[in-house]
Structure 1
Amino acid sequence: MAKKTFETALSKLEKITEELEDGDLTLENSLKKFDEGVQLAGFCSEQLSDAKAKVELLLEKDGKIETLPFGEQESGYKDLSE
């Protein structure tokens, strides 16, 4: 079986959401799909948290370019993405 990726999990979660919104499933199948969706949402959330921890912002301070972990921008830095 292929390794689960964020993209495949998100795609499956979108499909489950559509199936649940259609309302054509039995109660038992709806509960199974809901449980699977919750697990996939948790996996996607973990993947996003891991990615966020790895993202670094490119910042400029006093003419020097430095990197800081995402979310740790200090005052005095200019965000170059602006």
Structure 2
Amino acid sequence: MDLPIEELSFEDALKELERIVMRLESGDATLDESIHLYERGDRLRQRCAERLDAAQARIEAIRLDTEGRPAGTRPFTAA
């Protein structure tokens, strides 16, 4: 039985997504099973992306003063 995706940790969601990809790539799944796997895999991918985005928002970059010493932090911004 599949656990609700919202209850999975990032690591567990990623592991399940990897298992789904391997199953789909094997070509052993029926068409109906492949569709189910693809749909769950897409939801798992979205969950992982959401968790990564949330983690990135919490990362802080260290600011340095003119002499290269740490002078505080600022929110991380992706370039």
Question: TM-score, structure 1 length as denominator?
Answer: 0.80
| Greater Cα shift, 5-14 or 57-66 | 57-66
Q: Structure 1 residues 67, 5: closer, same or farther in 2, change over 3 A?
A: same
CA-CA distance at 1:11 after TM superposition: 0.3
Q: Report runs of 4+ in structure 1 exceeding 6 Å deviation.
A: none
Match of 2:64 in 1: 60
Equivalent residues, number: 73
Aligned alpha-carbon RMSD (Å):
2.1
Question: TM-score, structure 2 length as denominator?
Answer: 0.83
Is 1:48 aligned to residue 52 of structure 2? yes
Counterpart amino acid of 2:77? G
SS of the residue aligned with 1:62?
coil
CA distance in 1 between counterparts of 2:48 and 2:30 reads 26
CA-CA distance at 1:66 after TM superposition: 1.5
CA-CA distance at 1:4 after TM superposition: 1.2
Q: Which runs of 5+ in 2 are unaligned?
A: none
Tell me the percent identity.
Answer: 34
* Higher helix content, 1 or 2: 2
Is 1:70 aligned to residue 76 of structure 2? yes
